[in-house]
Amino acid sequence: MNARRVTAAAGVVHAAMQSRQTAAGIAAALEAACLLQSPETAAEQRETAAALRDTLGALLETQVERDALRARVAELETERHSTNEALSDAAEALRANRDRIAELEALKPARFQDCPVCGAGYEYGQPCSQCEFRSRMAAAEALAERSTPPVGDQSGPVCQCRTDRDGDGTGWIRYQGRDGEFVELRCRNHAAPGVSA
């Protein structure tokens, strides 16, 4: 006799009697508790029940993990869509910038430009003729001032002027610009009193 089985059966019978069940109800309670079977069958059923519980637990864990993975996949798909949209916008901006750069590189500067120093027009790729003329004139005036003798010292011909175009003794100095035009300035040594050079 198996004391454990007897004790288990007594507990089942006592519980059934407390709920005022009939003999058939008591037998059904014993069957439900697997106490009417052979010990091997009861052990096999308990092992099967334990395996079923383990399988159901693993299934629930798998379902929880699957739900978490599905949520992560949905999150990544949403992120991918926003990344793709941002990438598409960036590619479109890059294409627009590339087209604009190609357009700007294809442009040739205007043949005639405005000088940023003096505002005069000049041909692109050439120096500004006005600025060049002014610097040459400043150099010539500086040379003329250095070669002018002090007042009262007229010991020799120091003047660099070449022409007396009016016949009045006033000298003129001629300078040729880059464009081939001549510019004439009155010589300071021969300028009439009260007339600025």
- Domain spans of the chain? 111-148+159-197
Kindly state the average pLDDT of the residues 25-45.
72
| 1 Cα distance to chain centroid | 86
Give the confidence band of 132 by pLDDT, cuts at 50, 70, 90.
confident
178 vs 134: CA distance, rounded Å: 12
Token couple for 79:
């992120």
Q: Are 159 and 171 in contact (CB under 8 A)?
A: yes
127 vs 116: CA distance, rounded Å: 11
Kindly state the average pLDDT of the residues 158-172.
56
Kindly state the average pLDDT of the residues 137-147.
77
174 vs 41: CA distance, rounded Å: 133
Give the confidence band of 164 by pLDDT, cuts at 50, 70, 90.
low
* pLDDT (0 to 100) of residue 53: 93
Give the highest mean pLDDT range of 92-101, 108-117, 179-188: 92-101
Over its C-alpha atoms, the chain yields an Rg (Å, rounded) of 58
Non-local (6+) Cβ contacts of 25 within 8 A are 16, 19
* pLDDT (0 to 100) of residue 158: 45
Among the ranges given (61-75, 83-97, 110-124, 162-176), the one the predictor scored with the smallest mean pLDDT: 162-176
Of the candidates 119, 124, 149, the one whose C-alpha atom is nearest the C-alpha of residue 134 is: 119
Token couple for 65:
């993990």
Give the confidence band of 92 by pLDDT, cuts at 50, 70, 90.
very high
Q: Are 164 and 173 in contact (CB under 8 A)?
A: no
Give yes or no for residue 179 having a pLDDT over 60. Answer: yes
177 vs 91: CA distance, rounded Å: 54
Beta bridge partners of 185: 173
* pLDDT (0 to 100) of residue 69: 95
